[in-house]
Amino acid sequence: MAKATHVLVVEDEAALADLLKYNLEKEGYRVSVANDGDEALLSANESVPDLVVLDWMLPKAPGIEVCRRLRARQETRNTPIVMLTARTEEGDRIRGLDIGADDYITKPFSMIELLARLRAVMRRIRPALADDTISAGDILMDRVSHRVKRGGREVHLGPTEFRILDHLMQHPGRVFSREQLLDAVWGSDVYVEARTVDVHIGRLRKALMVGDEGDPIRTVRSAGYALDVEAA
């Protein structure tokens, strides 16, 4: 099974939080709910969400402060954030987008509209997460069946190599340090030596390259690794 997209809903109105959770789960998302700003920051720390739906008016830390603090953290720097608000002032909307929100929905909204906007944000920011099948160059990954093909040839990968490739394919061309790959693939609460990443990258390369196939993974000296779409 493909990993379900994890949505963190931050909303203090219990009825609306329940409604959001119910509808998002029905859409196949995995949902966590936080009832105030502090809880949201704690929850995002424990389990990094793929997407945050964040109410503007919250007890304790207000939505805009939660947004700012999520953006300040390495793990959630690029996490899509959609803000919910009852305010309609243009100034607030711009302020929210300035602080790093990706989209903005004014209450009251319909569930259909919200779900469509979330899908659009996911497609725009992380095209790969919205799909069960992703491709980069001549590499094709099916996340549901856990199969990878390169130029039509079946590539056999271990689970760790699969997850590394999945992460690299979500951000083609972007360079990841060993530490970033460790966090993304093993999780930040697990202690793994940075050298372990090199070992798995080596296995991944070996599986991807047969005969005279080019090396799709670029090693960036003292920086890390990237998937080169052109080479792939």
Length of the chain measured in residues: 232
Kind plus residue range of the DSSP H or E element containing 163: helix 159-170
* Closest residue by beta carbon to Ca ion: 57
Can you point out the beta strands (E) in the chain? 6-10, 30-34, 51-55, 81-85, 103-106, 133-136, 139-142, 147-150, 153-155, 217-220, 224-227
Q: If binding is defined by CB under 5 A, does position 57 make contact with Ca ion?
A: yes
Measured between alpha carbons, how far is 11 from 222 in angstroms, rounded to an integer?
42
**Residues in binding contact with Ca ion, number by CB under 5 A:** 3
**Residue 43 Cβ vs Ca ion, minimum distance, rounded to whole Å:** 16
In order, the DSSP letters of 85-151 are: ES---HHHHHHHHHTT-SEEEESS--HHHHHHHHHHHHHHH-GGGG-SEEEETTEEEETTTTEEEET
- Closer to Ca ion by CB, 62 or 137: give it: 62
- E strands present in 143-200: 147-150, 153-155
Residues in contact with 2: Cβ distance below 8 Å, sequence separation at least 6, in sequence order: 132, 143, 144
Closest distance of CB 106 from Ca ion, Å: 13
User: Which CB sits closer to Ca ion, 57 or 209?
Assistant: 57
Among 41-49, 54-62, 102-110, 192-200, which window interacts with Ca ion (CB under 5 A)? 54-62
Q: Using CB under 5 A as the criterion, what x/- string covers residues 123-162 for binding Ca ion? A: ----------------------------------------
Kindly tell me which of 84 and 227 has the beta carbon lying closer to Ca ion.
84
Dist CA 93 CA 104 (whole Å): 7
Which lies closer to Ca ion via its Cβ, residue 37 or residue 80? 37
- Tell me if 92 contacts Ca ion by CB under 5 A: no
Site string for Ca ion, 8-37 (x = CB under 5 A): ----x-------------------------
Q: Of 36, 39, 50, 55, which one interacts with Ca ion (CB under 5 A)?
A: 55
Side-chain half-sphere of 8: how many Cα atoms within 13 Å? 28
Min CB(205)–Ca ion separation in Å: 49
Distance CA 157, CA 143 (A): 13
Stretch that binds Ca ion, among 27-35, 50-58, 90-98, 105-113 (CB under 5 A): 50-58
Q: How far is the CB of 12 from Ca ion (least distance, A)?
A: 5
> In the complex, which residues of this chain contact Ca ion (CB under 5 A)?
12, 55, 57
